[in-house]
């Protein structure tokens, strides 16, 4: 099958997936969640007040028209206004996503590079003291909760030693940099432990394949086998793991943003949950699902580009 034809088919395949996901979101927020007018107006609201609000929110429309509004919002990026803040939800998402990306993007890039390098070192020196030491450190890092890292960083590094601001955020480059250094360090620590274990396992799985034994029989050095053959074949699951993480970068890290007072999308989500602001939660859910579907399709397309052995069918 031609690669162009495969890409077109993969994109077309994503369309029904989007319709299915959007319909599930519609059911969750418009049917399962119940009538939001009672929550917004209180239990003493009159029938007329509830009817007027339902009309204003478009809840008196037929179900298929309400579902069409969800589809339209996903393509037009017009999600209406927040119930809590009365702001345009699209503007809230744009503003929050920009802030979240200033934290999540450098953290993701640095943690990915560190994880790949350390996992390769650990796999290359498998069974030796350096491998055992790195695995032990990874287990320790994974065993400590995110909250412990945050509290330690704020109390010891920020408050006691004054190395970083305890919380806050300033818009614009480079003013936000001092405020994201400590959150970035914590994000990297939280990410690298599990990633290193995952990448190391993938690389070790490749070490015991038949083609590695054949390469050794031909007299190739371990370094040549590792760099030229093993890493190349291990890149498929590694790339999958990296790309699947990208859609969630716009959300930031909810716990870190909340504790450090960073006004990113993670903080907006927590505020929306606390205020039962369904339009904001629904909009971010739709946006995240859409971006995830797109990047999932990109992952499948990259498979056949990177590895021609994969059957295009």
Any idea what the CATH number is for the domain that residue 199 is in?
A: 1.10.3720.10
In-domain check, residue 165: yes
In-domain check, residue 7: yes
Any bridge partners for residue 88, and if so which? 81
Q: Tell me, what's the pLDDT at 185?
A: 92
Residue 189 is given by DSSP the state H
Query: Can you tell me whether residue 198 is helix, strand or coil?
Result: helix
In-domain check, residue 141: yes
Query: Can you tell me whether residue 81 is helix, strand or coil?
Result: strand
Provide the residue count of the chain. 313
In-domain check, residue 213: yes
What are the angstrom distances between the C-alpha of 107 and each of 93, 249, 274?
Answer: 20, 10, 27
Q: Tell me, what's the pLDDT at 32?
A: 63
Q: Tell me, what's the pLDDT at 1?
A: 56
Where the chain has pLDDT below 50, the residues are none
172 in the same domain as 34: no
12 in the same domain as 62: yes
191 in the same domain as 219: yes
Average pLDDT score, the chain? 83
Per the structure, the complete domain to which residue 168 belongs is given by: 94-275
Q: Is 88 left (phi over 0), alpha (psi -120 to 50) or beta?
A: beta
251 in the same domain as 197: yes
Q: Tell me, what's the pLDDT at 313?
A: 53
| Cis bond before residue 174 (omega within 30° of 0) | yes
Which tens digits make up the pLDDT trace of 259-297? Answer: 888 888 888 888 888 777 888 888 888 888 888 888 888
Which tens digits make up the pLDDT trace of 65-105? Answer: 888 888 888 888 888 888 878 888 889 988 888 998 999 99
Q: Tell me, what's the pLDDT at 269?
A: 86
Q: Tell me, what's the pLDDT at 114?
A: 93
For the chain, how many structural domains are there in total? 2
Q: Tell me, what's the pLDDT at 227?
A: 78
């Amino acid at each position: 099958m031609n690669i162009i034809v495969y890409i077109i088919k993969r994109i077309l395949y994503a369309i029904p997936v989007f319709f299915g996901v959007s319909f599930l979101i519609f059911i969750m927020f418009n049917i399962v969640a119940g009538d939001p007018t009672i929550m917004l107006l209180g239990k003493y609201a009159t029938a007329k007040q509830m009817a007027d609000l339902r009309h204003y929110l478009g809840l008196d429309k037929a179900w298929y028209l309400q579902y069409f509004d969800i589809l339209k919002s996903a393509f037009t990026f017009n999600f209406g206004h927040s119930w809590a803040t009365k702001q345009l939800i699209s503007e809230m998402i744009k503003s929050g996503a920009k802030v979240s990306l200033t934290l999540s993007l450098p953290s993701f890039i640095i943690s990915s590079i560190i994880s790949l390098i350390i996992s390769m070192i650990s796999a290359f020196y498998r069974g030796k003291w350096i491998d055992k030491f790195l695995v032990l450190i990874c287990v320790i890092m994974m065993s400590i909760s995110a909250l412990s890292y945050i509290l330690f960083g704020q109390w010891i590094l920020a408050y006691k030693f004054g190395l970083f601001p305890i919380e806050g955020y300033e818009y614009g480059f480079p003013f936000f940099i001092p405020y994201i250094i400590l959150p970035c360090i914590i994000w990297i620590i939280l990410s690298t432990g599990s990633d290193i274990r995952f990448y190391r396992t993938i690389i070790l799985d490749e070490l015991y394949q038949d083609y590695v034994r054949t390469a050794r029989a031909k007299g190739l050095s371990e370094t040549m086998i590792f760099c030229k053959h093993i890493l190349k074949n291990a890149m498929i699951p590694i790339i999958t793991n990296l790309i699947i993480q990208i859609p969630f970068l716009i959300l930031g890290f909810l716990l870190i943003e909340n504790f450090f007072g960073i006004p990113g999308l993670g903080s907006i989500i927590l505020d929306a949950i606390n205020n039962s602001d369904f339009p904001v939660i629904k909009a971010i859910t739709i946006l995240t699902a859409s971006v995830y579907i797109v990047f999932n399709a990109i992952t499948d397309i990259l498979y056949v580009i990177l590895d021609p052995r994969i059957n295009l069918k």
